[in-house]
Structure formats: structure tokens, C-alpha cells
Structure 1
Amino acid sequence: MEIVLKYFSDFTDTQLQQLQALSGLYQEWNEKINVISRKDIDALYEKHVLHSLSIAAVADFPNGMQILDLGTGGGFPGIPLAIFFPEVQFHLVDSIGKKIKVVEGVSEALGLKNVTFKHSRVEDIKDRKFDLVVSRAVAPLKDLWRWSKPVLKKAPAHEQQPGLICLKGGDLTEEIAESGVRPQLTNIYKLFPEEFFQEKHIVVVNK
């Protein structure tokens, strides 16, 4: 928890309580359904919570915005972002049902009113459109962008509004070349100079 407060300080009492509760909730759920590796659960706040919140360090989401977390896994980056932006609506989807069960349990325990969830592949979402898609290391960039485009709302042509913000690691040169898009990259280590983030990036693709 201290590592999150090292870089973010403007939390309400409710947000602090929710953030503090994450550790116990994920330890409890991880014993039933393994969604976080054993070695990572002890570093939850650095490797999962702060990593997710790196998106909040580069993007500000207006109240009422609707965001899809594609392949949310155990709820990252969606749940930390939902805590950080309580007036923004997050829809968390994953193709693996047991992971959505964890997301549902954690969200309800935290009392998050701005999170919905669905056991679904993103390709099967036909009835909703979103302002933005977020994702963390789910698939190659070309696939993430291909899946994102059909579920994004149409923005006016003059708006260079982000369509996809994803968290990636390692050398992305080949992946970006294959994607056919020109993303903006932010090295997370420049935001949070911790060893874990040295080869981690925030990748922003505009609509």
C-alpha cells in the first residue's frame, strides 16, 4: 500500500479503505481461484495496483465516461482504476468465467457502484459501445486494436481521443510494426522509478 501512496496522495477516506482492502480480498480469493501468481500476491500493490494506476498518471477520465476493460483477468487494470475514478463507469469482461467470479466478489466487497462485469469474449459484445478500452498484456497490439474498434463509440473526426490504452512489457518494436497503428508510448519507469517498471510501457492508440 505504501508504494501506491508514494506516487498518489489525493485519496478520499473511502478510496483509502478500498485500496487497503484489496490485499486481504485477493489473498482470500486467490486461495479459492488462482488468478494471481503466488510470487506476485505479496507484491500486489506494486505489480498489480500501481501498475494499473499508471494509466491514471497519463490520462484523465471525465465523469460519466464508459470504459471497457478487455480481458480483465483478476480485475486489472479495471478495479484499481474504478477506485481511482469513482464517477467513471467500468465494464470488466473476460472469457474465463472463474476470473469474472473473482472480479464480481472483489467489486461487491469493496462496494464499487461503478463496475459491471461479464463472462464474455469481446467479439461477442454487440449491444454496447464505449468511450475507451483498457487492457493489460492480454494479446498482441494488432489483436487488441482489432477487438477494440467495433466496441468504441464514434468520436468526431477532429477529436484525437484515445481509443485504446494498454499496458505492455518488453521490446515492442516488432509488435507495433505488425499492428499497423502508431501508438504513443510512455515508459512507466519514468513515472514510477521502481525496478519492476523498467521495461513496462503504457501504449496509447488514438481512434
Structure 2
Amino acid sequence: MELIRSYFEHFSEEQLAKFSALKPLYEYWNARINVISRKDMENFYVHHVLHSLAIVRFTSFFSGAKVLDVGTGGGFPGIPLAIALPEVEFHLVDSIGKKIKVVRAVAEALQLTNVMASQTRAETLKQQYNYVVSRAVTRLPIFSSWIKGKLEKNNPKGALPPAVLYLKGGDLEDELVPPVQPIEIVSLHSYFREAFFETKKLVVFRV
């Protein structure tokens, strides 16, 4: 866990133990239900865990915040974020049932009581959330249509305003168009030194 510890010195031993348990859990489930590219497992902590934790480098969310992870797949970025931010409530959704099965199994194994997982599409949800997170599910204008009306109008004073925090790489210029209202775009290479992050970005926006 030296990789995680090197960037997040404040994580407790309990949190680091949960991060350490992630790879064996995903190796077990990935052999049964393919949720991560097999060739990607050797880069599991950089490509999936650290990538997800870029959001924690940007903000920690406020205690009690409700966060929706849309198109979570096998649980990214939601599972690493839930380990990092135990006082935040995470709702992980995906339309593919076998992926949600893995998310639930991992959350249960790690005793992540702040994780709820649902097989559903974001468009059908009735709840509102303080934040929405996601990782390269689709183009930003399309994604915005999925989550329309899902953000709260206001957050507590001093907290990051209601926003989408979207992890994606490449040239995003033609995606930053209405209804996407960019707040900030962060190059992840400013957070992490690994070459993988040279083209990766965190796009923070409102709809």
C-alpha cells in the first residue's frame, strides 16, 4: 500500500487495509464476472483505485453528503471513494446486474456501510444528490441529459456547490458545450506522477 500511502498520508491503517484487500477481491470476482479488463489487473491500483481517488485530491465532500456514482461498472470511482470518505453516503448505479452483484459483494466484504448499489439507469432515479461522480461513461452532453434534475439546488455553506465530478481523458473541448457548465478542469498529472495520468482530467461542472 505504499503507492496509496505516498499520496494519502492521512489514511488510517484500517482504510489502508481495505485498499489492500481490494485487488484480491476483484481478482476473485473478475475470474467469475468480467468487470475489469484482464490485462488491466496488473495495473489495478494505478488505473482504477488511484484514478478514482483523484476526486479526493480535489475535494473531500462534507460529512453526510449524498453522492451518486453513475455507470459505476465494477464500483469505480464509488468503492475507493467510499473507503476514503466513510462519512459520505454513496449510491452506485449501473444498468448491468452482474456488475452490481460484484459491487455489493465487495462492499459487503469490506463492511462499507456507506455504500448502496442499485441495478438501474440514472434517468429513472427520483432522489437528488449533493454530488454526482462518474468515470468516462459517455460524452459529457449525453451524460448531462441522464442526470438532469438529480443535483440538489444548494449545499451547506462553505462546501463545494452541487456539481458533477467526471473523470475522463483526451481532448474535451467539443464536449464542454451547453448544458455542460464547467467549473474547473484539473489535469490529474498535477496530482499523480505516473505516466497513466498525463492525459487524464477531472472535469467539475454543473448542468
TM-score by length of 2: 0.94
What one-letter code is carried by the residue in structure 2 that aligns with 1:58? Answer: F
Residue matched to 2:23: 23
Residue matched to 1:147: 146
Question: How many residues are matched?
Answer: 205
Matches of 2:23 and 2:180, distance apart in 1: 39
TM-aligned CA distance change 1:44 to 1:123, over 3 Å? same
TM-superposition CA deviations, 1:126-152 (whole Å, max 9, x none): 2x2111100000011112222223111
Matches of 1:185 and 1:203, distance apart in 2: 5
What SS is found at the alignment partner of 1:11? coil
The 8 Å contact of residues 134 and 165 in structure 2, kept in 1 or not, is answered as yes
Matches of 2:63 and 2:185, distance apart in 1: 25
TM-fit CA distance, 1:169: 0.5
Quote the sequence identity (%). 48
Which moved further from structure 2: 100-109 or 160-169?
160-169
Which moved further from structure 2: 168-177 or 30-39?
168-177
The 8 Å contact of residues 152 and 162 in structure 2, kept in 1 or not, is answered as no
Residue matched to 2:117: 117
What SS is found at the alignment partner of 2:147? helix
Match runs of 1:95-174 below 5 Å: 95-126=95-126, 128-155=127-154, 161-174=161-174
The 8 Å contact of residues 5 and 11 in structure 2, kept in 1 or not, is answered as no
Residue matched to 2:185: 185
What one-letter code is carried by the residue in structure 1 that aligns with 2:97? Answer: G
Which moved further from structure 2: 7-16 or 57-66?
7-16
Matches of 1:179 and 1:36, distance apart in 2: 31
For structure 2, the residue ranges without an aligned partner over 5 or more in a row are none
What one-letter code is carried by the residue in structure 1 that aligns with 2:118? Answer: K
TM-aligned CA distance change 1:141 to 1:3, over 3 Å? same
TM-aligned CA distance change 1:84 to 1:177, over 3 Å? same
Matches of 1:95 and 1:2, distance apart in 2: 35
What SS is found at the alignment partner of 1:186? strand
The 8 Å contact of residues 67 and 91 in structure 2, kept in 1 or not, is answered as yes
Residue matched to 1:80: 80
TM-fit CA distance, 1:177: 3.5
TM-superposition CA deviations, 1:141-167 (whole Å, max 9, x none): 1122222231111227x9871410000
The 8 Å contact of residues 61 and 160 in structure 2, kept in 1 or not, is answered as no
TM-fit CA distance, 1:172: 0.8
The 8 Å contact of residues 142 and 180 in structure 1, kept in 2 or not, is answered as yes
TM-fit CA distance, 1:178: 6.3
TM-fit CA distance, 1:45: 0.6
Please give the root-mean-square deviation of Cα atoms over the aligned residues, in Å: 1.7
What SS is found at the alignment partner of 1:107? helix
What SS is found at the alignment partner of 1:5? helix
TM-fit CA distance, 1:86: 0.3
Matches of 2:199 and 2:179, distance apart in 1: 20
Residue matched to 1:66: 66
TM-score by length of 1: 0.94
Matches of 1:193 and 1:182, distance apart in 2: 25
Matches of 2:46 and 2:52, distance apart in 1: 9
